[in-house]
Structure 1
Amino acid sequence: MIDLPPAAEAVYINGAPEGERNNSLFKIVLQMRDQGMSQFDAETEAEIWGHKVGITQKEAVSLVKSVYSKPAREPWRPKERYQYKNGGILKQELPVPPMPISVESTPVDKFLTTCFDVGDQINICRSIKDGDRERPDGTGETRSREEWLEMFKGDGLKQWQGAAVGVYVSINANNGSGRSKEHITKFRHCLIEFDESTLQEQWAIIKRSGLPTSAIIKSGSRSLHAFVEVRAANAKEFAERVAFIYKHLEHTKLDPANKDAGRLSRLPGAMRTATGLQQELVECGAPTLTYMEWQERTMYGDIPEPYSWEQLVNFKEDADPTQLLGRRWLCRGGSALWVGSSGLGKSVMCLQAAICWACGRDFFGISPHGKSLKSLIIQAENDEGDVAEAVQGILKAMDFTEDELEKIKKNILIVRDCTSTGERFVDRMRRLVEKHKPDLGWVDPLLAFIGGDL
């Protein structure tokens, strides 16, 4: 079976309620097609799933044939929301706050109490020099969180470190018998670390990703270590969540060697004697998102925030900068669907409306907000002669002034596209909008471009 997005995977495993089964199977089969599964295999999977939820074999096979009759889309990827390419970060990125300077007087205390629970067994290990590298000095010591906090009071950490060149800490609690993955008792954190970027670049990647971090630590050298809260139920779920995170960040020069639940990181507050720098606690606190909330937001976008009642009560319509037509009849980011039977004259009506609003006139009582609006009309049915006939008829009938005609020529852009549908059309429309920056975008007719049924 292919990898499914979490929402689709949950339905595939748990089934769907009555009334949503066919639609759920449709979404699952779309993923099968997009990720390259053969139609025969998809029919087999659909029949098996359909049998579990009450869909007949005939219905399942018919649905698969319908899906596979259309071309595949770009397959789902975990990193869709945040794209990294050639060292740059593209659309839909989160703002990056400046990297803070730690002012914690006892960073190890805050780190231990934030990242571990009462009674957790934590492995801490001194590091030694081994040629040009540092490595753990043996198996280290495992104690409860409370024992470590008591031991590190005052200058306890400095005394415990002694002549060691640094100090490591396990990223997860263990059973007291060792720190390797078979001894892990809580799969709470995974570690991400970068070795090839600057500290500021690493900070930007972590913050833009929106990962649910509980601690970010400067290693005392060239990298940041981020404790990402995954809170997996077991080793299998831990591996799945870590794989998603690493896939999401695969273009960011992420160190791929840190996927193990038993990995060691740097203990904040200890000194890195090779550089003379402290292993600094840059940020520490409970994440605002759970792992699942982060994963769903990464794949599908943020959930909407409620409107503020104070803003609703004090809203001023006249001061709304998003207004385009009438008294908020249409605003920036909004849409309107004009519906009529074939041959009724929808295309000419849309063109006349765009022309009126381009020069500041009203159209059936609907006035542009401002002097004029720029329109981009993308249409599929009319060639240059058809468009010219409509334009000449409108201009002759409405007796525009020379000044109005100049505004119309400047503010109306008409293009024809007879080949793009679905996502390809969306991409083409996006490029046209970015190039011409219209106030209004017209799609005529919608059915020609949508790539499906309305």
Structure 2
Amino acid sequence: MSENKVDLIELLEYVDPAMLNYQEWVNVGMALKHEGYTVHDWDEWSQRDPGRYHDGEVEKKWNTFQGTNSPVTGATITQLAKDNGWHSHYSDDDNSFLDWGDSFIATDVDKGYKLVKTDWVMGKEIKEPTEQNWNPSNEVVKYLEALFAPGDIIGYVNDGYLHTKGETEKWLPKAGVYTKTAGEIIDGLRRYQGDIGAVMGDPNPNSGAWIRFNPLDGQGVKNDNVVDFRYALVESDNMDIAQQNEIIRELELPVVTLTYSGGKSLHAIVKVDAVNYPQYQERVDYLYKIVEKNGLRVDKQNKNPSRLTRLPGFIRGDKKQFLVDTNIGKASWEEWQEYIEDMNDNLPDPESLADLFETKIELAPELIGGVLRQGHKMLIAGPSKAGKSFSLMQLSIAIAEGRQWMGFNCTQGKVLYVNLELDEKSAKMRFIEIYNRLGQGHEHVSNIDVWNLRGKTSPMDKLAPKLIRRAQKENYIAVIIDPIYKVLTGDENSAHEMANFTNQFDKIATELGCAVIYCHHHSKGSQGGKNSMDRSSGSGVFARDPDAILDLIELPVTEDRYMALENEAICKVYYDAIQKYNPGYSDISLDDQFSKKQMQHHLMSAIHAQPILKEIEDQKIVAIESVRQATAWRLEGTLREFPKFKPVNAWFKYPIHILDESLQDIKLEEDPKENWRKGTKKSNESRAEKSKRELEEAFNVLSEDGGPVDVNQIADYLEIARNTVYTRTKKHNGFKIEGGYMSKNKQE
């Protein structure tokens, strides 16, 4: 072997055969044979998976490897080792120990982050339990309760096998158990009065015990079997235990459990709370860089989410594995990262524009032509009767089919419609009705996924990571959330709370690389005299946050216009009936087609059967009702990325919006309260008074004989979050909330 050639046997120390599938195991054997190693090398390594190892199988398989024109080489083993934390010792770059794909966060960390003066670390001693107070069962219970929920499936190993390499012997873990929940083990230990062997199997005091620090799916122990990327492991053995303890605490790491391994290191289980595997990689990059900068040379093979760590409550040789501490440092990853960033200037350097005109700038592709780019955010605002939900479903269809929506071209792709309001069957029926009314077919309806969450919603900060986790493999180009008041967190009139709320849309857009589209309701009153910044209810954050704001504003329709529509609808009913029942009738001129009187004359001339005429009369009545139910709307936009577009006018004729530019001559009604903008006196009603008035109005409308009203009904009526109802009630002395119901105070 040349001086600089990597020893593949050393690399295999980083690869656990129990975590590989059959083909990966075979590839390791083929690579070893191609690179000149022996069957004994493959056999010895394969024995580390006693659950699947069978004597003689390795040699039998080895003899089938005859070589090919495209052989499996040592690069396969090198990559497997890299995936499990190995790094080359021949690199001149001291930062080469990280190889997740060189995340940008980790690169930024190179600029500083030296928080601990390692030359002055004296050490903080740990206290080993005495024989009198050594309670192994309590150690296990306390550890599991700190890390896991009762229903979490965990993986643990309390037996090992002795691995010999030359004169070196090392105890390595066997396959272990990965189908029990934390709650089952805790209950069992209490039921059997701390008998660990009866609950977890008899331990091997020579090898100690291990546990996987993230919950599993019960199907295996690979990274793919991890169901929640909560924690990362920080382990270092390059300094004494007391110094490790001090540095971990000085760094304020968000440590859930700190365990003495029974060897040379402490094992710190650190909160990372990643929403998916890529974010886990970035956060572990960041974490490892920080601790490296501050003196802890971490063990790189532990960075995968399915790795094993030492489980307290067991004996390892002549040492105890015990819990040193729980819940130390910062309370969360976000708090710790903010602390780290506050301690260091990690802002990007100014960027020169010297090559501005030489380098082509690739903007995100347009999702809605001239309105919204992929990866950006759009808010549709309007009153409750504007048909916002129908419009969003119509938009979902336009994206799925690659058609126009409100006159704008849409890019075709997959879309996720998050349904927070309708029951599952009603939502499906609406899509069917809209598709049928559009009359353009449903060839690509499979591009639409609906996530039905009525009755199952949670606040947006809790919903966002769950949405990201489910959507990350689907390549959605748009996520539509309808309506947002169902998931509002905090008071919608609070700029700070609403900024935190809308930040969740940024997370979804960034993690999934898709557009996020959501709807919100207008404030009360006429919207004609307002600008888009003032139309949405609540804090102005709603207007400042999106990249595109589309406002649906109702148009005042005169009786003359409705009469004209009635005439048009009746003429169409008569014309369609003649074409159906007497297609040979050809006396209808173009002018006659638009005259109710003339079309009625043609109808009586063409059709004589009374049952058919009765049926046509019923159709006419339905057509007139449909006209009277229709409402007219103007769509205006405030855009960050594009110039302002000409207002779009449309009728909302259940269940779709139909463009009609003849409505463009209608002027919007102005809210009298907005006249002060033009020089008249401003309304004296304050925001608090308005809030109080609206609360009273909702209660009076919904209450029966002044009795209590469900808070959810109040929230739905006002189209605000449930929390906002509580906030408003606290500020209103006339009402109180008890047991989820709002009622009047007795003194009122």
Into which bin does the TM-score normalised by the smaller protein fall? 0.3 to 0.5
Larger Rg: 2
Which protein has greater RCO, CA pairs closer than 8 Å, 6+ apart?
1
TM-score, structure 1 normalization: 0.45
